Amino acid sequence: MATRDQRSLFGEILDWMLAPLLLLWPMSVALTWLVAQNIANRPYDRELGVMVRVIARQAAAEHTMPARASDAARRSLEQAATQLLRPDDNDSLFFQVRGARGELVAGDADLPVPNDGPPTVEPRFRDDVIRDEPVRVAYLWTGEDAGGNAGLIQIAETVDKRSRLATEIIKGVILPQFVILPVAVLLVWLALARGIRPLSDLQQRIRQRESTDLSPIEDRHVPEEVAPLVGAINDLLGRLDQSIAAQRHFLADAAHQLKTPLAGLRTQAELAERELDGGQGDTLSMKHSLRQIALSSQRAAHMVNQLLSMARAEDKEQALRKQDVDLAATVVETVRDFVPKAMEKHIDLGYEGPEPGVEGARLWGQPVLVREMVRNLVDNALQYTPAGGTVTARVMPDPFGQVLVLQVEDTGPGIAPAEREMIFQPFYRALGTDVDGSGLGLAIVQEIANVHGAEIAVTDAELRPGSTQGTPGAVFTVRFPLGSEEPPQS
């Protein structure tokens, strides 16, 4: 049997906290590298810019930019540039001076000529490659001549010092993070462990409770986020306590009700045994004893059947298995089954309503439970109706299609208004009647009505013309809702 993998709340929260942290850390390294490059370039770019301006002023002083430059002026410019651009142990420096027509005046011819915008008074910077080495170039376009041409001054420096400074910045920022990150993970772990400790305490409190303890769980020290869950559990415990109490009460009543027929059965059997042992038993007494035994066993069997019907009506899984039910056909079939009993008691039992199969007399329900409801209503009416009376079962479709009505009317003694709610309680029987029964029939009807969302009403029947009874009888009306019925499944 495959088992479902259980997810750890602690692990899931930890994952959602650490995963973004571990994802953001490489991004932080990349951003730090870019910032470090920018920071490392600023002082060296400023220095290159100063050098470009100095050489530009020297070139202007020596008149190096005309079309024909003298060799003496060129050598003087190169000598001044060499003194200014002193290389160090880390980087190499290159410079280039071009005339207004693009001719090389002094410096290195390997430096590429930029192709950007018009001359400006401020130096510009770019990254380039010279002799297979990356360099940082500062350049300045000088003033235009009469033909619109401009001279160019460039100074290039290799980037070893810049890279070294950027690396030092990265180390200064990243290395502390290697210490801070594990500490942060440890602190997150400890914080989560401390945060979910109330859940562990709640778990221990629930585990230590006795199986019979259905009292509410104390929620005073429960975290706010868990309080709704504890409230739901307390609500479930309350409903479970009520259900168990109702079952205990029901079982106690059932045991008390079963005690009477079983005790009578035992008494009659012992009486018959003593008469036979004493040689006093005759045919009439034996028949009487056997008749009482049969009656007691019949009562016990009826009680057991009613208890089974009650359990079936309370079965939630049974209630969920609903389908299309022809109520008219169910009532007609039930009336036919009770015709022999009605004839035995000289009661006129009949049916009024549409024929079986009519579309308007159908509902969405549990067929077994609906049949049990109709049987209990008809049987209850026959039990309380005296000889010569009338029992009528009706099915009345609603012309507006909202409900389907089931009615069972009798000409019995009727039910007092004060008792009309109590008769649906288990083992309750109306006062002033000597009818033999278990007191479960109407309780079963009520339970089945609740399963189907139906409403039950008890009213007085109308007195029939020529009736000599002082009471009109009772009418049980069950209204099944049709507005939310589900479509039949094929």
First to last CA, the chain: 32
pLDDT confidence of residue 68: 46
Query: Which position has the token pair 């929620």?
Result: 219
pLDDT confidence of residue 2: 45
Mean pLDDT for the chain overall: 77
**With left for phi above 0 and alpha for psi between -120 and 50, is residue 264 left, alpha or beta?**
alpha
Q: Between 436 and 30, whose confidence is greater?
A: 30
284-324 pLDDT, tens digit each = 777 767 777 776 676 666 666 666 655 655 555 555 567 88
pLDDT confidence of residue 66: 47
Q: Between 145 and 459, whose confidence is greater?
A: 459
**pLDDT at residue 69 greater than cutoff 50:** no
Proportion of the chain above pLDDT 70, given as a percent: 71
Torsion, CA 398, CA 403, CA 408, CA 412, rounded to 10:
-100
pLDDT confidence of residue 478: 93
Whole-Å CA distances, 231 to 130, 218, 223, 301: 76, 10, 12, 44
228-237 pLDDT, tens digit each = 888 888 888 8
Q: Which overall architecture, per CATH, does domain 9-169 show?
A: 2-Layer Sandwich (3.30)
Which residues lie closer than 8 Å to 72 by C-beta, 6 or more apart? none
Tell me, what amino acid is at 376? N
Cα separation, 99 vs 110, in Å, equals 16
Overall average pLDDT of the 47-67 stretch: 71
pLDDT confidence of residue 489: 41
pLDDT confidence of residue 405: 92
Longest dimension (CA), the chain: 165
Cα separation, 321 vs 335, in Å, equals 25
DSSP string for residues in 409-452:
EE-SS---GGGTTGGGSTT---TT------S-HHHHHHHHHHHT
Helix/strand/coil for 323: strand
Overall average pLDDT of the 198-207 stretch: 81
Whole-Å CA distances, 157 to 40, 74, 131, 413: 14, 22, 12, 118
Q: How far is CA 455 from the centre of its chain?
A: 32
pLDDT confidence of residue 143: 65
pLDDT confidence of residue 331: 92
Q: Angle, to 10 degrees, between the axis of helix 367-384 and the axis of helix 441-451?
A: 150
What is the number of residues in the chain?
490
Q: Of 76-90, 91-105, 126-140, where does the model show the most confidence?
A: 126-140
Tell me the pLDDT band of 441, cut-offs 50, 70 and 90: confident
Cα separation, 454 vs 369, in Å, equals 13
Beta strands 455-460 and 150-158 are unpaired
**pLDDT at residue 485 greater than cutoff 70:** no
Overall average pLDDT of the 425-431 stretch: 67
Tell me the pLDDT band of 255, cut-offs 50, 70 and 90: low
**pLDDT at residue 270 greater than cutoff 60:** yes
Q: How far is CA 123 from the centre of its chain?
A: 65
Query: Which position has the token pair 């019995």?
Result: 412
Cα separation, 394 vs 361, in Å, equals 11
pLDDT confidence of residue 271: 72
274-287 pLDDT, tens digit each = 777 666 656 777 77
Among residues 408, 374, 413, which one has the least CA distance to residue 393?
Answer: 408
Q: 433: which 2 tokens?
A: 């009647």
Rg over CA atoms, the chain: 52
Overall average pLDDT of the 339-350 stretch: 91
Q: 161: which 2 tokens?
A: 């010092």
pLDDT confidence of residue 220: 76
Q: 18: which 2 tokens?
A: 């650490």
pLDDT confidence of residue 6: 61
Question: Is the C-alpha dihedral spanning 251, 255, 258, 260 positive or negative?
Answer: negative
Tell me, what amino acid is at 391? V
Cα separation, 115 vs 118, in Å, equals 9
Q: Which of the residue ranges 81-90, 260-269, 359-368 would you say has the lowest mean pLDDT?
A: 81-90
pLDDT confidence of residue 409: 92
Cβ burial 283-317 (10 Å sphere, 16+ → b, else e): eeeeeebeebbeebeebbebbeebbebbebbbeee
DSSP string for residues in 182-194:
HHHHHHHHHHHHH
Q: Of 52-66, 137-151, 418-432, 438-452, where does the model show the most confidence?
A: 438-452
**pLDDT at residue 459 greater than cutoff 50:** yes
Tell me the pLDDT band of 19, cut-offs 50, 70 and 90: confident
> Phi and psi (nearest 5°) for 268?
-65, -40
CATH code, residues 318-481: 3.30.565.10
**pLDDT at residue 366 greater than cutoff 60:** yes
